[in-house]
A and B are shown apart, each in its own frame.
Chain A
């Protein structure tokens, strides 16, 4: 049997009150209460009256009735919101049927339900809609791509021009002169575009001299040399006139070079020289400017050298000699020398 202490006495008190303690336990409890008189009062307080069945009368009907009257607004709103249980809904509806006075108020609650006006529509739905993002990305990146391509092409093109520009001026201009001369002989349009007299006259002279050379013998050489001499003089004069015009258009320059009339001059103003020279540049074709790194004087000399070399080469062809005009750099003097190997060809001038 467990000992009764101040920590578990409630359990024994309850059992005592219920009458479930054994005789031995009852003796022990009495002994405990003797030793603890303060707890005897507590036991007396715990002794509550026991109700008998006959003494309690419960109104079961009133318990089943839901307080619709007292909380009518709450039930109306709850019914409206669908918060009532099915049983309560039925009970509430029954209540309303039986109490007509409450029906009107409930009807007003029914009217508080808002109905959307479907005639109100958002008209700009199409503006809210989106097209494919991929298209947008493609469009975005394609624009960048096009821009990048343009920049890339422009860069490559500029580099190529720069590369071309780095070629020796001599080679470039010689090539241009030769090409232009060849074209001038072939193309009638070019002849029309430039001064016809200036172009045709020297050509005729050249052809005549060639004929003379092929027909006449060496004794008649002097007479031929007079023709050549005239030609050379013309070239010299032309060179003098060409000097101020540095980089004229190829055709006009050659026309001038072949001209027999020393009075013919290029009608290109000096101020336009730079502009004309830049016409060969691709940048100028795009309306942009570019200043050559080649000094102007150097360019002039290069042009003159090219024309002179071309003339000398042709002279060699006419004479059947290996006549050469060459530039040679002397490292000791650090100067460029111009060597003219006449290869036995002499110059003479008739004096009237």
Chain B
């Protein structure tokens, strides 16, 4: 991969990665940092990365960086005994995207990541498995459970409305 291809990759994937990470961790600054770190790593290995596989490389790097970040945050959270989700919950929704947003928050980290990769980027089970270091069957199961969870949450909110 050369310099031009690297810069094209920035144009093509930075936004998508940012959205993926932002939806996963809900912190704009941290999402920005994760994206920057991922591209930094890509630049360091630019000569070893195939341009055709750069998207996968970037998302894999971003995913693992994010997981590390989440683990660190969780340790901090456990230490402080604070559950942010308790404070962020609200039952006043104006549209479906907000409901989905809320439902997404309630998924596990892995479920959220796989379903975001699936829906946002249209990755196949195999590709998601590679990115997340899971087996294809595990990915299928996580997506299945995530869909069920989202459906139940939306159903319950709609029934209330």
A residues near B, CB below 8 A? 73-74, 77, 80-81, 105, 108-109, 111-118, 120-122, 124-125, 127-133
Stretch of B65-73, B80-88, B141-149 contacting A (4+ beta carbons < 8 Å): B141-149
Residue of A nearest to B43 (CB): A130
Q: Are B154 and A108 in contact (CB under 8 A)?
A: yes
Alpha-carbon distance between A109 and B155 when the two chains are bound, in angstroms:
9
Is B7 a contact partner of A130 (Cβ separation < 8 A)?
yes
Docked-complex contact B96 and A128, CB < 8 angstroms: no
| B6 touching A130, Cβ below 8 Å | yes
B147, A77: Cβ atoms under 8 Å?
A: yes
* Chain B contact residue count (CB 8 A cutoff): 36
Chain B contact residues, CB within 8 Å of chain A: 3, 6-7, 10-11, 14-19, 22-23, 32, 35-36, 39, 43, 96-97, 100, 104, 115-116, 118-120, 143-144, 147-148, 150-151, 154-155, 158
Instruction: Report whether A122 and B154 are in contact in the complex, using a CB–CB cutoff of 8 Å.
Output: no
Q: Which of B119, B148, B158 contacts A114 (CB 8 A)?
A: B119
Q: How far is the CA of A108 from the CA of B151 in the complex (A)?
A: 6
A108 cross-chain contacts in B, Cβ below 8 A: 151, 154-155, 158
A127 to B, closest residue via Cβ: B36
Are B3 and A80 in contact (CB-based, < 8 A)? no
Most chain B CB atoms below 10 A, which of A120, A121, A128, A130: A128
Contacts of A81 in B (CB 8 A): 118, 143
Can you list 20 pairs linking A and B with CB atoms under 8 Å apart?
Answer: A77-B143, A108-B155, A109-B151, A111-B100, A111-B150, A112-B154, A113-B119, A115-B97, A115-B119, A116-B16, A116-B19, A120-B18, A121-B15, A122-B14, A122-B18, A125-B11, A125-B14, A128-B35, A128-B39, A129-B6
Contact status A112-B6, CB under 8 Å: no
Which of B39, B97, B115 counts the most chain A CB atoms within 10 A?
Answer: B39
Which residue of B is nearest A80, CB measured?
Answer: B147
A229-B128 Cα distance, complex, nearest whole Å: 111
CA distance A109 to B151 in the complex (A): 6
Q: A128-B36, A130-B3, A130-B43 are in contact. Are A116 and B14 (CB under 8 A)?
A: no
Chain B proximity of A102: nearest CB distance (Å)? 13
Closest residue of A by beta carbon distance from B18: A122
Q: In the complex the two chains form, what is the Cα distance from A73 to B144 in whole Å?
A: 9
Q: How far is the CA of A112 from the CA of B147 in the complex (A)?
A: 6
Question: How distant is the Cα of A112 from the Cα of B97 in the complex, in angstroms?
Answer: 10
Contact A122 B144 (CB under 8 A): no
Q: Give every chain B residue within 8 A of A77 (Cβ-Cβ).
A: 143-144, 147-148
Complex CA–CA separation, A105 to B158 (angstroms):
12
Distance of B134 from chain A, by nearest CB (Å): 16
A96 to chain B, nearest CB (A): 15
Specify the chain A residue showing the minimal Cβ separation from B118: A81
- Docked CA distance A125–B118 (Å): 24
A116 to B97, CA, bound (A): 10
- Report Cα–Cα, A263/B128, bound state, in Å: 102
Least Cβ–Cβ distance between B155 and chain A, in angstroms? 5
Complex formed: what's the CA distance from A346 to B147 in Å? 126
Question: By the criterion CB–CB under 8 Å, are B3 and A132 in contact?
Answer: yes
